[in-house]
């Protein structure tokens, strides 16, 4: 009989493409994913797997380059976020139709953050796209979501590794994929600065906004980079404490500087990184 796995997928921007590699390796090793929970990109990948549509998403994301990614960024220029996020999800819906979470083939939970009441909001039913749009609302980057009179932002703000919400079964294996592993490099530049600098739309955006990336002063951080680095430090600490509290059977760490927020053009590289990290973790577990 296949060993059942309760899978928890952390937040972490485009690094979450490594979650695909982990799922691929789990299935290759003969494990059965019996339930999944996720925050932000972890909710996206986890939900797509639960609805049986991860292969379609994988094929799509592998076609992305910087130009395609840029075309999916719909700038809001509002005080509550840079991006509306409507373009990307509209495109996804043409490839993968919406589905109610309760109709998925395996139990799935997405986590968002109720910003005003400082609490987690758990999605176990209703529209998949409604749940993940709330769960991926990175503060200052994506505009927040109004849901039942609540102001929702990224699930990773309060719970980047939602271990307590995954549905457990007897004798299952708790597997956690943490996108906040140790750094490979000392400094990570903002992902927006990596988007085609020659784009006329970006040049127009620069005229109306403060610098988003490096300030150019001795490699110092600009406004956006400083805000992102500060937020990331807090989320990394929460993730570490959460993992130490729940002690998963298998912990798969992906270096937190493997990619920046919008580096979806690195799909092949990140999926492979997930497969390799999972293979190593599973080998240690099975030989322990």
How much is the pLDDT for 249?
A: 97
Does 177 score more than 60 pLDDT?
yes
Selected catalytic residue, list 114, 154, 172, 263: 154
Average pLDDT, the chain: 87
Residue 214 neighbours by CB under 8 Å, 6+ apart: 189, 190, 193, 220, 221, 222, 225
Selected catalytic residue, list 35, 40, 225, 232: 40
153 token code pair: 């932002």
125 vs 188 pLDDT, higher one: 125
Does 243 score more than 60 pLDDT?
yes
Are the beta carbons of 196 and 66 closer than 8 angstroms?
yes
pTM value? Answer: 0.88
How much is the pLDDT for 185?
A: 61
Distance in Å from the first CA to the final CA of the chain: 20
Percent of the chain with pLDDT over 90: 75
What number is the average pLDDT over the span 20-43? 97
Question: Which residue ranges make up each domain of the chain?
Answer: 3-184+224-287
What number is the average pLDDT over the span 170-187? 85
Residue 192 neighbours by CB under 8 Å, 6+ apart: 212, 213, 224, 261, 262
249 included as an active-site residue: no
Does 252 score more than 50 pLDDT?
yes
Does 66 score more than 80 pLDDT?
yes
125 included as an active-site residue: no
Structural class in CATH, domain 3-184+224-287: alpha beta
């Amino acid at each position: 009989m296949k060993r059942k796995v309760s899978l928890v997928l952390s937040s972490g921007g485009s690094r979450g493409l490594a979650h695909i590699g982990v799922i691929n390796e789990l299935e290759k090793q003969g494990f059965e994913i019996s339930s999944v929970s996720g925050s932000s990109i972890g909710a996206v990948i986890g939900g797509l797997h639960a609805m049986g549509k991860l292969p379609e998403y994988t094929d799509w994301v592998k076609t992305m380059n910087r130009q395609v990614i840029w075309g999916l960024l719909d700038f809001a220029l509002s005080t509550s976020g840079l991006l509306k996020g409507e373009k990307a999800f509209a495109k996804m819906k043409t490839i993968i139709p919406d589905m109610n979470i309760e109709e998925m083939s395996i139990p799935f939970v997405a986590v968002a953050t109720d910003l005003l009441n400082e609490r987690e909001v758990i999605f176990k039913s209703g529209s998949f796209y409604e749940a993940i749009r709330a769960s991926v609302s990175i503060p200052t980057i994506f505009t927040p979501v109004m849901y039942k009179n609540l102001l929702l932002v990224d699930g990773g703000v309060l719970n980047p590794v939602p271990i307590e919400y995954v549905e457990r079964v007897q004798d299952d294996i708790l597997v956690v994929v943490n996108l906040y592993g140790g750094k490979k490099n000392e400094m990570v530049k903002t992902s927006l600065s990596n988007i085609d600098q020659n784009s006329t739309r970006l040049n127009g955006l620069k005229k109306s906004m403060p610098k988003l990336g490096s300030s150019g002063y001795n490699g110092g951080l600009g406004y956006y980079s400083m805000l992102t680095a500060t937020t990331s430090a807090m989320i990394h600490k929460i993730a570490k404490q959460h993992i130490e509290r729940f002690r998963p059977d298998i912990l798969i760490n992906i270096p937190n500087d493997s990619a920046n927020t919008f580096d979806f053009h690195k799909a092949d590289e990140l999926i492979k990184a997930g497969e390799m990290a999972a293979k190593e973790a599973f080998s240690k577990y099975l030989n322990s």
